[in-house]
A and B are shown apart, each in its own frame.
Chain A
Amino acid sequence: MIALEAINVTKIYGTGANAITAVDDVSLSIKRGEFVGLVGPSGSGKTTMLAMLAGLLKPSRGQIVIAGKDIGRMSEGKRTKFRGRYIGFAFQANNLVPFLTAQENVDLLLRLNGKFNRQGRQRTLDLLERLGLSDRLQNRPGQLSGGQQQRIAIARALIHEPEVVLADEPTASLDTERAHQVVQTFAELIHEQNRAGVMVTHDLRMCKYVDRVIQMMDGKISRVITDAREISRLAGAADELDGGYVARTNGKPALAGDPMVAVQGI
């Protein structure tokens, strides 16, 4: 069952001579229970794509359909409401509300959706236990490590049983071991709870946990990998390169932190 669909989506920033086509006629669809990794070099259009999938940015052309609704046609207010109900988010930074406890941060999405009842609260406790945070319920983000914060963000992204879960570089501030833990649990939960997940990442090693890798280049999908063995080979190659840092590929300078370029050159 298709949870999320992008149909011929284009995003052009600016006008006239300054126009930049950040996403160029991209189509993709993601089923429930499927976890997709969105990769590609800097400037390839990943963040722009994610912003459109999230209903944070209106496509210049094309449609984004989530739970059967074209979110590009919604008014600002409606889209905000829609995001709260149908989408779960884990961002790179500033994920959590600093003055709320771990538990309250997760409960926030229940309150927002009128699900802050006994059942809902129990789900929060269960989910945080599952993420190994049972003894951190009353701590505020400032008192927690980056890994713990990111796990709370994941709990918050899932607690309200959204249609789609979106993550933007969720491991950017974590060390390798923690990054693996976080993404592994994230993937497990997406599968268990049957959500459609999209994760934008620079770190190809994290692709190990996804079902499909979509690589973007110059605003277009340049490659799609669905074969599990091929995905783990890609992740393994990246692992050997510590995430895939290489200064040059094909004689052209690659931007720092652009593993895709590096791995492609292999």
Chain B
Amino acid sequence: MSFYLAIKEVWRNKGRFLLIASVVALITTLVLFIAALAEGLASANREYIEKLNGELLVFQEGTQLSTTASRIGRGSIAELRRVKGIEAVGQVGFSTLKLVPPDGGEDINVSFIGVEPGMPGEPTVYDGQQLMRASSNNVIVDEGVVARLGVKVGDAIRLKVTQGTQEEFYDLTVGGLTDRRQYFFQPAVFAPILTWDKIRPGGDAGDPSADLVSNIAVVKLADPAQLETMKTAIEQNVKDVEVADRQRAWEAIPGYAAQQSTLTTQQFFTFFIGVLVVGGFFQIQTLQKVAQIGMLKAIGLSNWTVGWTAIIQIVTVNAIGVAIGAVGTLALTANFPVTVPILLTGTAALTTVLALLAIGPLGGIVSVFVLLRIEPLRALGMAQ
């Protein structure tokens, strides 16, 4: 009976219910977009660190895990290599410079990352070759670069560096391609550390006598389960360093935490608006139906029937709205170019959709309680 009445009413008032379903759909779209944006921005920020083939990152002490402020020299690397339980250590240096597209388009900002060939920090290629020598002109580029430039293994790429007021150009060869490894919202180019040191702005320009200073060191442990113990061991045995696992390192990226919490707050408020909208709609509808509900109870429909009817409607309309919104958003985000930081992962989409399905009807539940309290005596125009 409840099902019969619920479906009949929704079907015969398609326009009205579709209107509220489309509002739910829009809210769903918005919530999913915020989730996708949060995920997209987060990964654009942390992708490289997240995918590192080493468990710990070593920073200069007192730099608050800032990759730009931190400096790690060869001395520290040597000390690190002596710590028991460490399998490998790689120096990693970060800088930002421009990639000049061959077709004369606008320059592209890239993270130019120096790594030691064969050491932690170097990404694994899916096409071409790993880096060979510490000072070759072969580089690895990530998917972001591939998507923007369409480069293949063996192609030449041109980097532009501004040294002081001077613009310098360097031609390098793409030796390998790796998956998305953005860092700091920029696609990444990986060069052998000596090449990196030569090219980067403010570098030593190849002065062989200078100490090879990178920003951080990436450490691969013999036993990854010993994370905490090894952190302490490193900090005790190596001078002036601070150690973080990958998650702490990316959370320390400037603005990362603030950005994520802003987006989470937005998402929460959008949820909240959704609950209010659904609740408000059904509440108004219920108030308009007081006389009709009184009549139904008078002619013998139980509170159960009346209550279930409303719950079925609320859940159905909410679910239809969420479904429309989710399908629409998935279709939209699937066609976004890689340059837009929107990333809708399956888990994020599923959690959001489930949350909307569960939370959406909550607002409507208030109206169910109102329905239950309507007296059948209303049918006679009376109330006690």
B301 touches A112 (CB 8 A): yes
A91 touches B380 (CB 8 A): yes
CA distance A81 to B12 in the complex (A): 27
User: B289 to nearest A CB, angstroms?
Assistant: 9
B382 touches A51 (CB 8 A): yes
**Which interface residue of A92, A99, A168 has the most chain B CB atoms within 10 A?**
A99
A98 touches B292 (CB 8 A): yes
Question: Which residues in B have their C-beta under 8 angstroms from that of A98?
Answer: 292
Candidates A81, A100, A109; contact of B302 at CB < 8 Å: A81
CA distance A91 to B376 in the complex (A): 12
CA distance A140 to B11 in the complex (A): 13
Interface residues of B in 1-40 (CB under 8 A from A): 1, 4-5, 8-9, 12-13
A95 touches B295 (CB 8 A): yes
A57 touches B377 (CB 8 A): yes
CA distance A156 to B377 in the complex (A): 19
Question: Which residues in A have their C-beta under 8 angstroms from that of B384?
Answer: 57
Candidates A48, A80, A109, A156; contact of B376 at CB < 8 Å: A80
Question: Which residues in B have their C-beta under 8 angstroms from that of A140?
Answer: 12
User: A112 to nearest B CB, angstroms?
Assistant: 6
User: A56 to nearest B CB, angstroms?
Assistant: 5
A94 touches B379 (CB 8 A): yes
Question: Which residues in B have their C-beta under 8 angstroms from that of A95?
Answer: 295
B8 touches A56 (CB 8 A): no
Which one of A82-90, A124-132, A185-193, A205-213 contacts B?
A: A82-90
Candidates B9, B294, B377, B381; contact of A92 at CB < 8 Å: B381
CB nearest to A48 among chain B residues: B382
Known: A83-B300, A94-B295, A98-B292. A111 touches B1 (CB 8 A): yes
CA distance A97 to B297 in the complex (A): 12
B291 touches A112 (CB 8 A): no
User: B310 to nearest A CB, angstroms?
Assistant: 14
CA distance A38 to B80 in the complex (A): 102
CA distance A92 to B291 in the complex (A): 11
Q: Does A93 count as interface, using CB distance less than 8 angstroms?
A: yes
Interface flags for A99-115 (1: CB within 8 Å of B; 0: not) read 11000100011011000
A83 touches B299 (CB 8 A): yes
Question: Which residues in A have their C-beta under 8 angstroms from that of B380?
Answer: 47, 50-51, 54, 56, 91-92, 168
Question: Which residues in A have their C-beta under 8 angstroms from that of B303?
Answer: 77, 80
Q: Does B324 count as interface, using CB distance less than 8 angstroms?
A: no
Interface residues of B in 337-384 (CB under 8 A from A): 376-377, 379-382, 384
CA distance A81 to B5 in the complex (A): 18
Question: Which residues in A have their C-beta under 8 angstroms from that of B296?
Answer: 97
Candidates B13, B292, B298, B379; contact of A97 at CB < 8 Å: B292
CA distance A151 to B109 in the complex (A): 78
User: A90 to nearest B CB, angstroms?
Assistant: 10
CA distance A47 to B383 in the complex (A): 12
Question: Which residues in A have their C-beta under 8 angstroms from that of B376?
Answer: 56, 80, 83
CA distance A61 to B66 in the complex (A): 84
B300 touches A80 (CB 8 A): yes
B299 touches A99 (CB 8 A): no
User: B113 to nearest A CB, angstroms?
Assistant: 65
User: B287 to nearest A CB, angstroms?
Assistant: 14
User: A57 to nearest B CB, angstroms?
Assistant: 6
B4 touches A111 (CB 8 A): yes
A80 touches B302 (CB 8 A): yes
CA distance A82 to B301 in the complex (A): 10
User: B373 to nearest A CB, angstroms?
Assistant: 12
CB nearest to B375 among chain A residues: A56
Interface flags for B51-67 (1: CB within 8 Å of A; 0: not) read 00000000000000000
CB nearest to B294 among chain A residues: A94
CA distance A109 to B296 in the complex (A): 10
Question: Which residues in B have their C-beta under 8 angstroms from that of A77?
Answer: 302-303
**Which interface residue of B9, B301, B376 has the most chain A CB atoms within 10 A?**
B376
A89 touches B379 (CB 8 A): yes
Candidates A51, A97, A104; contact of B377 at CB < 8 Å: A51
Question: Which residues in A have their C-beta under 8 angstroms from that of B297?
Answer: 80
Question: Which residues in B have their C-beta under 8 angstroms from that of A109?
Answer: 299-300
CB nearest to A108 among chain B residues: B299
Question: Which residues in B have their C-beta under 8 angstroms from that of A156?
Answer: 299
Known: A50-B380, A56-B380, A140-B12. A84 touches B300 (CB 8 A): yes
A93 touches B300 (CB 8 A): no
**Which interface residue of B5, B298, B299 has the most chain A CB atoms within 10 A?**
B299
A-B contacts, 24 listed (Cβ < 8 Å) = A47-B380, A51-B377, A54-B380, A56-B298, A56-B380, A57-B382, A77-B302, A77-B303, A80-B297, A80-B301, A80-B302, A83-B299, A84-B299, A84-B301, A85-B300, A87-B300, A89-B299, A92-B380, A94-B295, A97-B5, A100-B8, A112-B301, A140-B12, A156-B299
Q: Which residues of B contact A (CB under 8 A)?
A: 1, 4-5, 8-9, 12-13, 291-292, 294-303, 376-377, 379-382, 384
Q: Which residues of A contact B (CB under 8 A)?
A: 47-48, 50-51, 54, 56-57, 77, 80-85, 87, 89, 91-95, 97-100, 104, 108-109, 111-112, 140, 156, 168
The 5 closest A-B pairs by CB, nearest first: A84-B300, A99-B12, A94-B291, A83-B300, A99-B9
